[in-house]
Chains A and B, each alone.
Chain A
């Protein structure tokens, strides 16, 4: 069975702090895809990144970076120098089979000015 665990329910930081959101996944398949989405207060989920199981290279996009480690089944997300606009709920998700995306419970990030 496929499962995604986001152990951090809520995180609160002060602006300019770095913050890491954890994501641990479970699957027996060797081919899978991992995603991160951001859900701002408006409700829409915004796609941030996709990573396939054969590409363990870490990725950086501006203040965002992702650390994919198959050895620990983790796909962690770090925001550097956080800003108030980063406040949102962040979801990690896993796809093994087509059309079967499994979401974690989400981590609510609050960035205080």
Chain B
């Protein structure tokens, strides 16, 4: 089945540690996205990528980094500079190009601080 796979489902970060969240898609989508979801709030865009080897900052990129070396993969690193990383992180993909394409989401990764 085609879809988006995020791993791990739960992740714990120690003080000063960088952690990487995985996102893989087999939908052959060009565009991929990372969102952060906090309780009672909507999704906020962290980074997005329209094509391999290219990515753009979203509204809340500080303290995060991404790479897009392969079309299928868009890992997100939460760095030690992100002082409030506890949140639910969602990865999405879309065909890209036109803005009317719906985004397809993974199951999310819940990140907590130890």
Interface residues of A (CB under 8 A from B): 4, 6, 9, 33, 35, 37, 42-47, 50, 52, 91, 93, 95-106
Contact = CB atoms under 8 A, between A and B. Distances in A.
A45 B42 contact: no
A50 B33 CA distance: 18
Interface of B: 31, 33, 40-45, 48, 50, 56, 88, 90, 92, 96-100, 102-108, 110
Contact of B48 (A46, A95, A99, A105): A99
B55 to A, nearest CB: 10
A12 B45 CA distance: 29
Contact of B41 (A43, A93, A105): A105
Contacts of A98: 50, 96-99
Contacts, number: 65
Nearest to A96: B99
A42 B107 contact: yes
27 contacts: A4-B42, A33-B99, A33-B100, A37-B105, A42-B107, A43-B90, A43-B107, A43-B108, A45-B43, A45-B92, A45-B105, A47-B104, A50-B100, A50-B102, A91-B43, A95-B100, A97-B99, A99-B31, A99-B33, A99-B96, A100-B45, A100-B99, A101-B33, A101-B43, A101-B103, A105-B40, A105-B42
Contacts of A103: 42-44
A47 B90 CA distance: 14
A30 B95 CA distance: 23
B56 A99 contact: yes
A102 B44 CA distance: 8
Contact of B42 (A50, A91, A97, A99): A91
B99 A47 contact: no
